[in-house]
Structure 1
Amino acid sequence: MNDDIRVPEVRCNLDGGESLGIISTDEAMEKANELGLDLVLIAPQAKPPVAKIMDYGKFKYQEEKKLKEQRKNQTKIVVKEIKLSVKIAENDVAYKVKHAREFLEKGYHVKFRVFLKGREMAHPEAAKEVLEHVWPMIEDISTMEKPPKFEGRYYNMYIVPKK
């Protein structure tokens, strides 16, 4: 902006869209000062670089406004975690699956985790069996993004709602 521009000539445009063509940087600075505006380098990598005569404060404000609008329109993915154990009872599985179905209907992603304690680590396939038992109960409303996988002391399965 203004004094930071170190190139001999620039392709200069006015804020309204009018083009002044390729002129020296000093000439462009004089024109900007004459109008009481700033000379802002828009495309420094172009040959010759493109500069625009505009109100820099207004430009920054509009850029920030665009960024806020983009952030507002982003969808945030909510991941709900449901913890199970190897020795979980059938009615407890049904209860946890009921909650998972509610989460999936709301559009949340669900991560099932089976924690292996102590000697359960000797038989991690038992944890995989628990997750494989859970999957048929929710496969009608969901898609398995990551199949059951052993990670550290956990067996994880990642489920997303069907589109």
Structure 2
Amino acid sequence: MINRQIRAQEVRLIDETGKQLGVVPFEEAARLAIERKLDLIQVTEKVEPPVCKLGDYGKYLYQEEKKNKSTKKQKGGELKRIRLTFNISLHDLKTKAHQTEKFLNKGDKVRVEMYLRGREKAFQDFAKEKVNKFLEILQNATPIKIERDLKKEFGGLMIIISKG
């Protein structure tokens, strides 16, 4: 919220340099903003009185967006899912690897799942070989890092990878 949208009687004010000016009445904070040709920006409303800052609102929005992008990048993006089947052909495996490579290049983590149905559950070793073959094809295209090792999960196998 900015300027007259703020509904508090008193605000904790921070000037454009980051210096705290203390708790001041809202009207005085609004007057200061007008004098300095700046916006009064409510930074947080979770505390009483709410924290407001003097500054350019456009610049503030840009900084917040930049901060959100960097935290998303640190977090590792989204978790995408790729499903493999027990009888997947080599060509389909390469196609799935190509799609996984796209996800990894965007900065996302990928959860590779192989579901086993019925009698397929008796051939866990063959299923692990298929997943390892998939990882080998992917490794040739782009470096990968294994976030969570290949493990048996309800209904099949699962591994989480990210760009290495």
Contact in 1 for aligned 2:41/2:54 (Cα 8 Å): yes
Check conservation: 2:43, 2:51, Cα contact below 8 A: yes
Hey, what does 2:43 align to over in structure 1?
42
- In the TM superposition, residue 159 of structure 1 has moved relative to its aligned partner by 3.3
Distance 2:128 2:159 in 1: 9
- For 1:70, the equivalent position in structure 2 comes to 71
SS in 2 for 1:31: helix
Deviation at 1:77, TM superposition (A): 5.0
- Measured on the aligned residues, the alpha-carbon RMSD in Å equals 3.6
2: distance between equivalents of 1:31 and 1:11?
13
- Contact 1:128–1:148 (Cα < 8 Å) also in 2: no
For 1:119, the equivalent position in structure 2 comes to: none
Asked if 1 retains the 8 angstrom alpha-carbon contact of 2:41 and 2:53, the reply is yes
Q: Which residue of 2 aligns with 1:25?
A: 26
State the secondary structure of the residue aligned to 1:84: coil
Contact persistence 1:145–1:160 (CA under 8 A): no
Amino acid at match of 1:143: D
Q: Which runs of 5+ in 1 are unaligned?
A: 116-123, 150-155
Give the greater-gyration-radius structure (CA). 1
Q: Secondary structure at the match of 1:47?
A: coil
Q: Equivalent pairs: percent with the same residue? A: 29
**Any idea what the Cα deviations from partners look like across 1:89-132, whole Å, max 9, x if unmatched?**
xxx8xx79x97xx99xx9965322345xxxxxxxx2x2211224
Match of 1:145 among 114, 127, 151: 151
Query: Secondary structure at the residue paired with 1:71?
Result: helix
Other-structure match for 1:52: 53
Alignment coverage as a number of residue pairs: 134
Q: CA deviation at 1:76?
A: 5.5
The aligned counterpart of 2:127 is: 134
Given the superposition, is the C-alpha separation of residues 80 and 41 from structure 1 closer, same or farther in structure 2, using an over 3 Å criterion? closer
Distance 1:34 1:57, change over 3 A: same
State whether structure 2 residue 132 is matched by structure 1 residue 159.
no
Deviation of 1:58 (Å): 0.7
Which whole-Å CA distance do the structure 1 matches of 2:110 and 2:21 have between them?
A: 53
SS of the residue aligned with 1:135? helix
Structure 2 distance, partners of 1:158, 1:49, is 46
Shift, 1:36, TM fit = 0.3
SS at match of 2:17: coil
Deviation at 1:158, TM superposition (A): 1.6
Answer whether contact 1:112 1:131 (CA < 8 A) is retained: no
